[in-house]
Amino acid sequence: SYAPAKPVSRCATISIGINAVLATVGVLAVASSSFASADIGAAVRYAQPATVARVGRVSAMPQMGFMRQARPAFNQAPKVNAGRMNMAVNSALEAPPTVDNSPSIEEFLSGTEPRLSKAVMAMFNACKEIGYKIRTASCDKQACFNAFGDEQLAIDVLADNVIFENLRASGAVATASSEEEPTEVNMGGTGYSVAFDPLDGSSIIDTNFAVGTIFGIWPGARLTGVKGTEQKAAGLGVYGPRTTITLAVDGIPGAHEFLLIDDMSSRHGQWVLSQSFHTIGEGKLFAPGNLRATLDNPGYADLFKYWYDNQYQLRYTGGMVPDVNQIMVKGKGIFVNAASKNAKAKLRLLYEAHPTGYIIEKAGGRSSDGEQSVLNLMVQATEDRTQVAYGSAGEVSRFEQFVGRRFI
């Protein structure tokens, strides 16, 4: 037999009714917030595409914060807008690539001539190791050091050794030459020759400023008697808060930044495409090197005064790699390292000026020695030096107008 049902009190009935309403509203709120998160995620990607491209993916935590703000008040019935949901899905599908789905450097180079691809990968592998060695270096007031095998070496010497080892192991490099060792060294391979500055800005590394590696790749087995226009690839590696390489390759439009993933994710240790540069526009940003030359180069002095009087932003660290890299990232500005009779040109044509000029011009900017593109200059000897300007077309033209080569 069954016990007779107890009558339900009026309070219990009200409680059950309230719980049923709460459950219904909760289900609708979850559904609505799910659609909202997709919509907001797409909006974030479109509102800040550069941030998404550089940092990687839109993280879950910011989206959760947006969802909390986007939920309706508890006593309001949320409305599910099917049209809005479809727009959000379409937006997500069309959003810029993130670190999760960006091509790796190996995929990017898949259509490149095989030996050129090997030479480029040798430099990427070397820069990965150098980046780690820099982050873990010990520094004093004179230099920074790290282990290389059983030796403790100054970090610039270590970087030099790491690059030579990787180029030799590639089998695709016939000749290599370093700013640290400005001679043409037989690498035992065939196909290409590589010139590089292993650690540009090594004098400021102890202060923890950003520094970099510069390289240019030419076909054949010679690095003298060549012009910058003959390069098949060039790269600027930046060791800063992030480790990146901006690469330009013959036959591929633009210059392309690759980010070294260092977050213990499934892509840890990979170089992935983070952004591309195709245009350098006009803008009031300047990085003036070798300012001693303003003392006896009146053209450079007048140009500096022009920048000052017109309220340009000074953005100069003393390291050419980050100072040039910012022009591509910001999409505007100029870097200048001018010369005079008493303050001679500092930058070596083969190791610094040619590779950097190649990248800047592929990125949509201009380079100049005061009269013409630095890429038109022929390397007569590995020690050749030149004054340079890199940046937007208008700013480089102004450099030629004010400075030229009249006061060298």
Reply yes or no on whether 180 is catalytic.
yes
Q: Please, which residues bridge with residue 246 across strands?
A: 236, 257
DSSP state of 55: H
CA–CA gap between residue 350 and residue 338 (Å, rounded): 17
Reply yes or no on whether 323 is catalytic.
no
Q: Which of 34, 43, 46, 45 is nearest to 71 (CA)?
A: 34
User: What's the token pair of residue 27?
Assistant: 């289900």
Candidate list 180, 323, 384, 395, residue with the active-site label: 180
**Which residues, 6+ apart, have CB-to-CB distance to 51 below 8 Å?**
none
Candidate list 199, 260, 303, 350, residue with the active-site label: 199
Buried b / exposed e across 321-347, counting CB within 10 Å, b at 16+? bbbbbbbbbebbbbbbbbbbeebebbb
Candidate list 93, 140, 150, 263, residue with the active-site label: 150
Candidate list 39, 109, 116, 156, residue with the active-site label: 156
Reply yes or no on whether 156 is catalytic.
yes
Candidate list 197, 257, 323, 369, residue with the active-site label: 197
Candidate list 39, 160, 257, 352, residue with the active-site label: 352
The kind and range of the H/E element at 303 are: helix 298-309
Q: Taking each helix axis from N to C terminus, what angle separates 155-170 and 114-135, rounded to the nearest 10 degrees?
A: 160
Candidate list 39, 158, 160, 200, residue with the active-site label: 200
Would the CA dihedral through 344, 346, 350, 352 be positive or negative? negative
Reply yes or no on whether 199 is catalytic.
yes
Reply yes or no on whether 352 is catalytic.
yes
CA–CA gap between residue 303 and residue 390 (Å, rounded): 15
Reply yes or no on whether 200 is catalytic.
yes
> Catalytic positions, please?
150, 156, 179-180, 197, 199-200, 352
